[in-house]
Structure 1
Amino acid sequence: MNPNEEQYLKLASYVLHHGHKKADRTGTGTISTFGYQMRFDLSKGFPLLTTKFVPFRLIKSELLWFIHGGTNIRYLLQRNNHIWVEWPFKRYVESDAYQGPDMTNFEKRRLTDPDFRKVYLHQKHLFCRRIIDDKAFAKKWGTLGNVYGAQWRHWQKRNGGQIDQLKWVINKVRKTPFSRRMIVSAWNPEDVPSMALPPCHTLWQLYVNDGKLSCQLYQRSGDIFLGVPFNIASYALLTSLIAKECGLKPGYFIHDLGDAHIYLNHISQIREQLNRKPYKAPTLWLNPKKRSIFDYDMDDIKIENYHHHSKIRGAVAI
């Protein structure tokens, strides 16, 4: 029995059977519904999906990147995390600085042309290697704009100052846990045009009751097969980290989705996943010696007793 995973599987099934076909920015096409809520009781295990393998190391390295205010993929690549590479790579190969083989429309060509896919993977490998090895190149081509890390830690004020929203909200949990204003926003309209990908998880709110910390997320756009499993685990981890720092227990993670969609090239994968029986939920281990959310490193966060089905692969829509 895994009641938390059932929340996700019900979402996938609902959109698969009741969603409507809708065009999208990537040109892939989706089955979509508007407005859906899931509730995950964090006392019933950590909500990392078991009906397919979900690489937790990518989730925790990405979240630590957000927490530290990162906006450049160099930090991620140094930790073998490639989940944000496609957007800066696209910007690079479409620029005059790129002198390699033609990468026009690589998003679609890589899926249909095996010979081109080899060329694409090689060029992306060279790009990633150079991001890691060349600081100047990374500074120019590895940046994503003022994405999550910048908004959470360095929100720009009109007077030229900054707001550290993450430190602020943790302080509110400590000093005024009854507050209804414990909100962190990643959606900054002024910065949206310059971001590689405008924030999908746009706003989250904390709530304290009975010695427990809960978090509610509003996500404007949710890729149910690839993105949403990461988002669920990431915000469950964030909630757990803040709860520990503030001397609370994790309560609920509540996930509100705006446009919840399955890409048309993920339909068979979702069907396969829905035919699998969930395992018991794993548990989260946090280094008891670490007090502040800002002090954690990769080895301080672990998943234990993670039993899962095999990977199910699917291409990311860019």
Structure 2
Amino acid sequence: MTTATLDAAPAATCANPHWEHQYLDLMRRIWTQGDERVDRTGVGTRSLFGATIRFDLSGGAMPLLTTKRVYWKTATRELLWFLTGDTNIRALCAQGVEIWTDWPLDRYRRETGEAIERKDFSARIVADEAFAREWGDLGPVYGKQWVDWPTYEPAGEEGLFRRGPGVNQIAQVLESLKSNPGSRRHIIEGWNVAELPAMALPPCHKTYQFHVSDGKLSCLLYQRSCDLGLGFAFNMWSLALLTRMMAQQCNLEPGEAVWTGGDVHLYLNHGSLVEEQLSRTPSGEARMTILRRPESVFDYRIEDFDVSGYAPQGHIAAPVAV
């Protein structure tokens, strides 16, 4: 598909626009007008700075892309893992989820020189607890900051400090939503500057702000860096899912999921993905039912979520830049 073809591709119609046209229009703009940049991975990207996509969560609607298959159960397992505060990939690998495996695997290969395959590395992480402790930890990534943000308190002698109790931001925001819904401080933050060097990957989806209006809970996510071709689909799903879970726990209806990206990019080696996806037309709508209300937001299980009406077009494979 040529640039001219991409420029001529149909945009959203005014009659009944499918939400996904926001995504496809952004993809087209990046690919045809984006600034070509050398990035951390060395692969190179085309990038735009500053973008917003909005999705109405009413009626059980969920933002699953239809122009390619999105593995929503994998994204859900990741979100539930975040809420445990765990930072080791072992629990994910045990569920067949390998979206975080590439970073520990890359470190293992570099430091040992062993050219182990990913599936074999994941299997060893699951089978060998000591191996998982040594090689499977990602550092204080998302979940650690969400439910156990570190604090420090004076240790009695001048200039000495010891670890204090961790801050559970999720629990704090839930309480503030219930007790003071009009607050402008319903924020969950992942960007802990002091701990960034210890993280396998600094948080991309970094700041969540919740907002209550007319009995509905909305959430705006600020994402500093977004791989639109691969990562966005999971990020948008997780934003909507977390909003629904928080809304249920607060006896509120879901409102809007508002996604805002800083550096939004497409990798230069994703050309075939871009061309294939932009040739497709969005159709249909996924809806989700939460089958029970757990005692807390930390008690949801994968079996609690039922998705209906999702009929995506085929999966589009593309390499991940580590």
Task: Give distance in 1, aligned partners of 2:171 and 2:94.
Answer: 26
Residue 110 of structure 1 corresponds to none
**Which letter does structure 2 place at the counterpart of 1:17?**
T
2:118 aligned with 1:124, yes or no? Answer: yes
2:16 aligned with 1:16, yes or no? Answer: no
Task: Give distance in 2, aligned partners of 1:262 and 1:60.
Answer: 24
Count of residue correspondences: 296
Give 1:62 shift: 0.2
**Which letter does structure 2 place at the counterpart of 1:7?**
Q
Residue 98 of structure 2 corresponds to 82
CA offsets, 1:49-108, max 9 Å, x none? 01000001111000000111121101111111000000000111111xx3634xxxxxxx
CA offsets, 1:256-292, max 9 Å, x none? 1110000001122112111111121100111224342
Residue 203 of structure 2 corresponds to 199
Task: Give distance in 2, aligned partners of 1:286 and 1:64.
Answer: 14
Instruction: Give the one of 56, 59, 63 matched to 1:47.
Output: 63
Look up the SS of the partner of 1:267 in the other structure: helix
Contact 2:205 2:224 (C-alpha < 8 Å) held by counterparts? yes
Contact 2:18 2:282 (C-alpha < 8 Å) held by counterparts? no
Contact 1:244 1:291 (C-alpha < 8 Å) held by counterparts? no
Look up the SS of the partner of 1:257 in the other structure: strand
What is the TM-score normalised by the length of structure 1? 0.90
Residue 209 of structure 1 corresponds to 213
Look up the SS of the partner of 1:32 in the other structure: strand
Task: Give distance in 1, aligned partners of 2:283 and 2:17.
Answer: 7
Task: Give distance in 2, aligned partners of 1:214 and 1:6.
Answer: 21
Instruction: Give the one of 100, 112, 126 matched to 2:114.
Output: 100
Instruction: Give the one of 86, 89, 93 matched to 1:70.
Output: 86
Residue 4 to residue 70, structure 1, CA distance change in 2 (3 Å): farther
Contact 1:2 1:281 (C-alpha < 8 Å) held by counterparts? no
Contact 2:56 2:257 (C-alpha < 8 Å) held by counterparts? yes
RMSD: 1.3
Residue 191 of structure 2 corresponds to 187
Give 1:41 shift: 1.1
| 5+ long unaligned stretches in structure 1 | 102-119
Residue 164 of structure 1 corresponds to 168
Look up the SS of the partner of 1:144 in the other structure: coil
Residue 99 to residue 15, structure 1, CA distance change in 2 (3 Å): closer
Residue 222 of structure 1 corresponds to 226
Could you list the structure 1 runs, at least 4 aligned residues long, displaced by more than 6 angstroms after superposition: none
Instruction: Give the one of 145, 158, 163 matched to 1:151.
Output: 145
Look up the SS of the partner of 1:225 in the other structure: coil
Q: Give percent identity, aligned residues only.
A: 44
